[in-house]
A and B are shown apart, each in its own frame.
Chain A
Amino acid sequence: MDYDAQLKLQAYLDGELPEAEAREVANWLAQDREAIALFAELRNTRQALVGLEVGVTLPESREFFWSKIEREIRRQEQLGPPARSVPFFSAWRRWLVPAGAVAAAALAVLVGLSGGSGVSLVETAVADPAAFTYHDFSTGTTLVWFSYPADDELADNTPAATVQ
């Protein structure tokens, strides 16, 4: 069976052929065992794929999703090339003494300011599955978006002209 015949069989299965051509293929199928076998295989494959086509829904809007990817790409692009390697002892001499002093001072400040209770977590998540959080570290902005329907809006001061 040539390639065009296979394509015609596939088109017949998908219901894409005009009535006259469809009738021809039906007659052909009644006479050709090879065509029947291929048609059965194509039909089984289509049914298997239909069962697998489960829609994937994101917990956030499309704009949010792609924006996060775009920002991550930009962030990685902004990172410079890896630093040139320096001898271990040179780096040690240059950085360890001041770094140790700064670390000790920072530790003293942290312990003092936290009242000895340890460093607290920066944030905790919103205990709401319908909400998601977006951080913009460059501007220090945190957005918590609630994906509720518009009917559940909280702002009643929106102008009446916009209410559906």
Chain B
Amino acid sequence: MTSLPTTLLLLQSSNLSMRRQTFSTALRPWFWAWVVMLAVNGLAAPAADLKLEALLIWGTNEQTSPDANHKPVGPKLKKKLEELPLKWTHYFEVKRIQFDVPLSNARKVPLSEKCELEVKNLGHSKIEVTLFGKGKQVATRTQELSKEDTLILGGNAPGATSWFVVLRRPE
């Protein structure tokens, strides 16, 4: 029969072993989650082509457009425009172009005779947008454009109206 101190030592040793096992069991799911994340990370490669959609929009307070080719913007874009602090009540789609931009390449998108857009795909949803007006560079902007994001460039147009260039990811 073992002495009392030896028994205590054995019990303590057994407890320690159990604690180690419990700790190991608790961390196991986290370890496997980490391994899975690493695997996904390794497989995740940036998309080669970035699909984009550019729209030329005309903003006015008139209910209808004199140009029959103009149609009111869709409900989603209309809601976004209405939530911006703009004073116009009606927005009409003048032109819509869908295009792809390969990784590290730029693509020029003519929206009108005066307005042209150049979009460069910097990878990981990041783009560089350059707006040209009458052939001259107006502005350049670099930002991420995720599927939920919308970039709107705008300015005044004659007759207290406005122009907008909307850039977004097509649905």
A-to-B contact residues, CB < 8 Å: 61, 63-64, 66-68, 97, 101, 104-105, 108-109, 112-114, 120-128, 131, 134, 136, 138-164
* CA A131 to CA B80, docked complex, whole Å: 20
Chain A residues contacting B115 (CB-CB under 8 Å) are 154-156
- B26-70 residues with Cβ-Cβ distance < 8 A to A are 30, 33-34, 37-38, 40-42, 44, 46, 56, 58, 60, 62, 65-67, 70
- Closest A residue to B43 by beta carbon equals A112
How many chain-B residues does the 8 Å CB contact rule pick out? Answer: 61
**With A104-B34, A120-B126, A141-B83: A157-B44 Cβ-Cβ less than 8 Å:** no
Query: Contact check: which of B113, B124, B154 meets A146 at CB < 8 Å?
Result: B154
* CA A109 to CA B85, docked complex, whole Å: 37
- Closest B residue to A164 by beta carbon equals B158
Chain A residues contacting B37 (CB-CB under 8 Å) are 105, 108-109
Check: B1 CB closer than 8 A to any chain A CB: no
* Complex contact A154–B44 (CB within 8 A): no
Chain B residues contacting A157 (CB-CB under 8 Å) are 56, 58, 67, 94-95, 112
* CA A122 to CA B79, docked complex, whole Å: 24
* Complex contact B148–A140 (CB within 8 A): yes
* Complex contact A147–B80 (CB within 8 A): no
Q: A108-B34, A114-B124, A158-B158 are in contact. List 4 more A-B contacts (CB 8 A).
A: A63-B85, A136-B83, A141-B152, A144-B152
A-B contact pairs, 22 of them (CB 8 A): A63-B86, A66-B85, A68-B85, A97-B30, A112-B41, A120-B126, A123-B141, A123-B142, A126-B141, A127-B140, A142-B151, A145-B155, A146-B138, A146-B155, A148-B156, A153-B163, A154-B112, A154-B115, A155-B58, A158-B158, A159-B70, A162-B66
* Complex contact A156–B112 (CB within 8 A): yes
* Complex contact B143–A142 (CB within 8 A): yes
Chain A: minimal CB distance from B121 (Å): 14
* Complex contact B158–A153 (CB within 8 A): yes
* CA A3 to CA B49, docked complex, whole Å: 80
**With A67-B85, A153-B156, A158-B58: A140-B150 Cβ-Cβ less than 8 Å:** yes
B-to-A contact residues, CB < 8 Å: 30, 33-34, 37-38, 40-42, 44, 46, 56, 58, 60, 62, 65-67, 70, 79-80, 83-87, 94-95, 111-115, 124, 126, 131, 133-134, 138-144, 146, 148-161, 163, 165
* Complex contact B113–A101 (CB within 8 A): no
* Complex contact B134–A154 (CB within 8 A): yes
* Complex contact A108–B139 (CB within 8 A): no
* CA A114 to CA B151, docked complex, whole Å: 23
- Closest A residue to B147 by beta carbon equals A140
* Complex contact A156–B139 (CB within 8 A): no
* Complex contact B155–A113 (CB within 8 A): no
Chain A residues contacting B86 (CB-CB under 8 Å) are 63
Query: Contact check: which of B41, B143, B152 meets A108 at CB < 8 Å?
Result: B41
User: What are the nearest 3 A-B pairs in CB distance?
Assistant: A67-B85, A123-B143, A155-B163
Chain B residues contacting A154 (CB-CB under 8 Å) are 112, 114-115, 131, 133-134, 138, 155, 163, 165
**With A120-B124, A154-B134, A154-B163: A143-B142 Cβ-Cβ less than 8 Å:** no
